[in-house]
């Protein structure tokens, strides 16, 4: 989080980072589980766009995870973006193992199951959906720690900026309507689409 905060153009605030660390410390001080901490930290990366590669590498170095979990985190680091997050949970759950054993009682997972039956069931129900739905379901149904959400600015300056933007949009629309009634619409005021700009530059 510190490295991402120092990157130019990153909107990740110090206040949000401190709140995330505080919430994680509170969770660790109670009865933390490796699945719970993993989902919390992964949601932090996802919700704040902190970068999966660096973030998961940092998670591998967290002493709270044992060797089996470190191998899993390395696998997630390689597969994230290609494999649905819900599948990354479901396929390593005791629920998936139980489902497979219905057709083959001797079935064994090639790697250890890391998530419980309930986690696997919730993950299966959220396959193909935005991971935020899975995070919310785990928090609601299993008491997983909730990631602090950045609050939108609600000061006078932010409201003034929003109003100024609305006024500019209204002024542009009025100009277009007036020009249209006179039959003098000037589309150049709207700017040129990027696709045409690229064509001109390539000539």
pLDDT tens per residue, range 3-16:
665 665 556 677 88
Q: Over 90: is that where the pLDDT of 197 sits?
A: no
Domain that holds residue 56: 2-142
| Mean pLDDT, residues 52-75 | 94
Q: Residues 86-142: pLDDT tens digits?
A: 999 999 999 999 999 999 999 999 999 999 999 999 999 999 899 999 999 999 999
Pairwise CA distance, residues 84 & 121, whole Å = 15
Looking at the fold, whether 123 and 173 belong to one and the same domain comes out as no
Nearest by Cα to 71 from 99, 110, 44, 98: 110
Looking at the fold, whether 160 and 62 belong to one and the same domain comes out as no
Looking at the fold, whether 123 and 170 belong to one and the same domain comes out as no
Looking at the fold, whether 101 and 177 belong to one and the same domain comes out as no
Q: What is the DSSP letter of 187?
A: G
Looking at the fold, whether 127 and 165 belong to one and the same domain comes out as no
Q: Residues 152-177: pLDDT tens digits?
A: 656 676 678 778 888 888 887 787 78
Q: Does residue 134 lie within any of the structural domains? A: yes
Q: Residues 22-44: pLDDT tens digits?
A: 999 999 999 999 999 999 999 99
Burial 57-66 (b: 16+ CB within 10 A, else e): ebbbeeeebe
Q: What residues does 115 pair with on adjacent strands? A: 93
pLDDT of residue 158: 67
Backbone angles phi, psi at 16, to 5 degrees: -65, -45
Pairwise CA distance, residues 178 & 45, whole Å = 48
Looking at the fold, whether 106 and 18 belong to one and the same domain comes out as yes
Looking at the fold, whether 160 and 136 belong to one and the same domain comes out as no
Nearest by Cα to 151 from 2, 1, 15: 15
Contact status, residue 118 vs residue 141, Cβ threshold 8 Å: yes
Q: Does residue 149 lie within any of the structural domains? A: no
Q: What is the pTM of this model?
A: 0.69
Looking at the fold, whether 54 and 112 belong to one and the same domain comes out as yes
Looking at the fold, whether 129 and 164 belong to one and the same domain comes out as no
pLDDT of residue 7: 61
Looking at the fold, whether 17 and 86 belong to one and the same domain comes out as yes
Q: Does residue 59 lie within any of the structural domains? A: yes
Q: Over 70: is that where the pLDDT of 184 sits?
A: no
- How many structural domains compose the chain? 2
Pairwise CA distance, residues 118 & 131, whole Å = 17
Q: Does residue 151 lie within any of the structural domains? A: no
SS3 45: helix
Q: What angle do CA 143, 42, 126 make, to 5 degrees?
A: 65
Looking at the fold, whether 194 and 118 belong to one and the same domain comes out as no
Q: Over 50: is that where the pLDDT of 195 sits?
A: no
Give the residue from 142, 166, 191 where a domain finishes.
142
Per-residue tokens: 72: 């899993």
């Amino acid at each position: 989080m510190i490295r991402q905060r120092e990157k130019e153009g990153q909107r990740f605030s110090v206040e949000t980072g401190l709140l995330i660390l505080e919430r994680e410390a509170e969770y660790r001080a109670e009865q933390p589980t490796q699945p719970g901490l993993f989902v919390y930290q992964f949601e932090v990366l996802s919700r704040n766009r902190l970068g999966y590669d660096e973030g998961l590498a940092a998670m591998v170095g967290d002493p709270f995870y044992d060797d089996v979990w470190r191998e899993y985190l390395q696998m997630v680091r390689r597969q994230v973006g290609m494999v649905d997050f819900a599948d990354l949970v479901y396929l390593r759950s005791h629920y998936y193992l139980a489902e497979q054993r219905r057709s083959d009682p001797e079935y064994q997972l090639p790697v250890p199951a890391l998530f419980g039956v309930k986690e696997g069931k919730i993950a299966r129900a959220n396959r193909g959906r935005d991971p935020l739905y899975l995070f919310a379901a785990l928090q609601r149904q299993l008491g997983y720690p909730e990631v602090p959400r950045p609050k939108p600015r609600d000061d006078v300056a932010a409201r003034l900026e929003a109003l100024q933007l609305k006024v500019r949009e209204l002024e542009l629309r009025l100009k277009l309507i007036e020009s249209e009634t006179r039959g003098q619409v000037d589309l150049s005021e709207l700017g040129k689409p990027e696709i045409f700009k690229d064509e001109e530059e390539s000539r």
